[in-house]
Amino acid sequence: MTAIRYVPQKPPVMAIALANRANTDLLQRMLGDDFHIQETFAEESAEPHVTVDLIVVDTASLKHYWERILDLRRRAAPLILPVLLVVDSRSRIPPRITDELGYSVNDILRIPATQLELKARIDNLLRLCASSTAAGLSPRRY
C-alpha cells in the first residue's frame, strides 16, 4: 500500500470557527506559516466560493454552524472537505458529538495537544482530501 503524500502548491487554507478567541490565537501560533488561516468561515457574510482545504471547529461552533458545514461539505462533493473537531480534554465527549464522526466531522482532537500531534492530525485530514482527488474525482471547489 502506498501512502499519498500531501504536498501543497501553496499553504493550505484552514477555516477556523472556535468560540474561544484565545484558542484561535493559540492554534495560529502553533501552526505558524504552514497554513493560511481564514476566520471568515464563521461570518454569515462569508463568500460561498471561498476556497478552503480544511475546517476546524469546537463543539459550540459545530452546533452553531452545523448546517453551514454540511452545506459546504455537500458542495465540495465528490471531494472530501475535512473537518477537525477540537474538544477540551477535561470534559467528556457527549455521544451526540461522537455521532457526528463521518458525517459532519472527520476527526476529533482533544486539547491541549502538542504541536506535533496537531500538525499530524491536520496532515492526515489533508491527505484524506488529496486521496479523494487522486482517486480521479473532479477537483470541484466551493
Residue 115 near residue 26, CB atoms below 8 Å: no
| Other Cβ atoms closer than 10 A to 57 | 25
Residues 29 and 57 sit within 8 Å (Cβ to Cβ)? no
Q: How far is CA 98 from CA 45, 93, 112, 127, 135, in A?
A: 29, 7, 19, 22, 28
Which tens digit of pLDDT belongs to each residue from 7-56? 555 788 888 888 888 888 888 888 877 777 777 665 554 455 557 888 99
Q: What is the pLDDT of residues 69-99, one digit of tens each?
A: 998 888 888 888 899 998 877 777 777 777 8
- The per-residue pLDDT for 82 is 92
pLDDT confidence of residue 138: 47
Peptide linkage before 112 cis (omega within 30 of 0): yes
pLDDT class for 133, splitting at 50, 70, 90?
Answer: low
Residue 37: predicted pLDDT: 78
Helices (H), 2-58: 21-31
User: What pLDDT does 141 receive?
Assistant: 42
